[in-house]
């Protein structure tokens, strides 16, 4: 089955995670990064999940899952050690038309987590349709080397200049040509040169003398 690639806007949406172990922790962190409203249901939780709950970043219900937990939920992630519970969550989510992901169980997933290369707002996602997460991870490592951290700054610069172009009264064809030029390899090389020049022109921090450090 061919999957439909999409990036979801989860800001403000109610998302449920059943489980609060190490794997669930990663899923919770991803949802928080997307500014979702995260609710966690699990009798126990890792120290980090407990800290998020204390800081009111998530809501944690320290108990077993109930079907009613899916009420008004946009998507649910099941990350426990119980296949029986996972099957129940999937069936209940399907009945309520809630998007469901069961960790390491492609048959009980409406969507999969891809292997992600993140460079600020740039996200490169690799999916194998659940056939080989190991291959997705290997490809991610290759892409991380190819797309370094400098892409974060370049994309920010492109975004700013894009807004400036849209503020001008340019024809669509002219604007399109300029936008493609902004995203060209030549533009990237110029960005790297400017960044290198800025670093060279920035004066290094003066080293304090030993007596100054102690004062």
CA dihedral 126, 129, 130, 131 (to 10 degrees): -100
Query: Do residues 169 and 142 both lie within one domain?
Result: no
Of 89, 44, 43, which is closest to residue 69 (Cα–Cα)? 89
**Per-residue pLDDT tens digits for 189-200:** 999 999 988 887
What percent of the chain shows pLDDT beyond 90? Answer: 80
- Both structure tokens of 29: 């962190």
> How far out from the chain centre does Cα 52 lie?
17
Task: Say if residue 104 is in the same domain as residue 193.
Answer: no
Cα–Cα distance measured from residue 54 to residue 83, given in angstroms and rounded to the nearest whole number: 29
Is the same domain home to 106 and 123?
no
Q: Are residues 21 and 100 in the same domain?
A: yes
pLDDT digits (tens, 9 = 90+) for 134-191: 999 999 999 999 999 999 999 999 999 999 999 998 999 999 999 999 999 999 999 9
Residue 67 and residue 80 in one domain: yes
In terms of residue numbers, what domain contains 137?
Answer: 114-148
CATH number at residue 130: 3.30.160
Per-residue model confidence (pLDDT) at position 202: 66
Rounded to the nearest integer, the mean pLDDT of the chain is: 92
Domain contains 181: yes
Q: Does the global pTM surpass 0.85?
A: no
In the structure, what pLDDT confidence band is assigned to residue 25 with cuts at 50, 70 and 90? Answer: very high
Q: Indicate the number of domains in the chain.
A: 3
Q: Is residue 45 part of a domain?
A: yes
Same domain, 44 and 97: yes
* Residue 211 clears pLDDT 70, i.e. is over it: no
Say what the pLDDT of residue 213 is: 45
Residue 215 lies in a domain: no
């Amino acid at each position: 089955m061919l999957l439909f690639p999409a990036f979801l806007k989860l800001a403000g949406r109610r998302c449920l995670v059943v489980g609060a172990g190490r794997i669930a922790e990663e899923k919770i962190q991803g949802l928080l990064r997307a500014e979702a409203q995260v609710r966690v249901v699990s009798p126990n939780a890792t120290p980090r999940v407990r800290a998020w709950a204390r800081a009111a970043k998530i809501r944690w219900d320290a108990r077993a899952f109930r079907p009613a937990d899916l009420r008004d939920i946009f998507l649910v992630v099941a990350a426990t050690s119980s296949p029986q519970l996972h099957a129940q969550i999937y069936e209940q989510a399907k009945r309520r038309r809630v998007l469901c992901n069961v960790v390491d169980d492609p048959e009980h997933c409406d969507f999969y987590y891809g292997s992600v290369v993140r460079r600020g707002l740039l996200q490169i996602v690799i999916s194998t349709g659940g056939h080989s997460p190991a291959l997705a991870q290997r490809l991610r490592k290759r892409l991380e080397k190819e797309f370094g951290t400098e892409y974060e700054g370049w994309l920010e610069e492109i975004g700013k200049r894009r807004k400036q172009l849209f503020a001008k009264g340019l024809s669509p064809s002219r604007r399109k040509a300029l936008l493609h030029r902004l995203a060209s390899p030549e533009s990237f090389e110029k960005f790297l040169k400017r960044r290198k020049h800025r670093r060279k022109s920035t004066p290094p921090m003066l080293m304090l003398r030993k007596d100054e450090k102690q004062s």
